[in-house]
Amino acid sequence: MATTPESGAYLIAPDPSRAGLTREVTGTDQYGQAVTLSVVEERPLTIFLNSREIVTAMTIGDYPKYLALGFLRNQGMLSDADVVTGVDFDEELETVVVRTEHETSHEEKLQKKTRTSGCAVGTVFGDMMEGIEELTLPDTSVKTSDLYALAHQINRTPSLYLEAGAIHGTVLCQGNRPLVYMEDVGRHNAVDKIAGWMFDQDVPADDKLLYTTGRLTSEMVIKTALMGISVLASRSGFTAWGVEIAQQVGLTLIGRMRGQRFVCLAGEHRLIRDVDPATVPQEDKKHRRKSGG
User: Which residues between 147 and 206 bind a second copy (CB under 8 A)?
Assistant: 164-166, 168, 185, 187
Judged by CB under 8 A, which stretch of 130-138, 174-182, 190-198, 255-263 contacts a second copy?
255-263
Options 153, 226, 262, 270; binder of a second copy; rule CB under 8 A: 262
Site residues for a second copy, 18-77, by CB under 8 A, read 22-23, 25-32, 35, 37, 39-44, 46, 52-56, 58
- Which residues make Cβ contacts (< 8 Å) with residue 83, sequence separation at least 6? 100, 101, 102
Q: Which is nearer to a second copy, 44 or 204 (CB)?
A: 44
Q: How many residues bind a second copy (CB under 8 A)?
A: 74
We find the least distance from the C-beta atom of residue 110 to a second copy, in angstroms, to be: 6
Q: Which is nearer to a second copy, 196 or 292 (CB)?
A: 292
The Cβ-side half-sphere exposure at 38, using a 13 Å CA radius, reads 15
Give the bridge partners for 180, in sequence order: 12, 172
Q: Is 119 in the site for a second copy (CB under 8 A)?
A: yes
Q: Is 126 in the site for a second copy (CB under 8 A)?
A: yes
For residues 193 and 182, the answer to whether their CB atoms sit within 8 Å is: yes
Of 281, 54, 288, 18, give the one whose Cα is nearest residue 154.
288
CA–CA distance, 261 with 69 (Å, rounded to integer): 35
Site residues for a second copy, 82-111, by CB under 8 A, read 110-111
CA–CA distance, 228 with 222 (Å, rounded to integer): 10
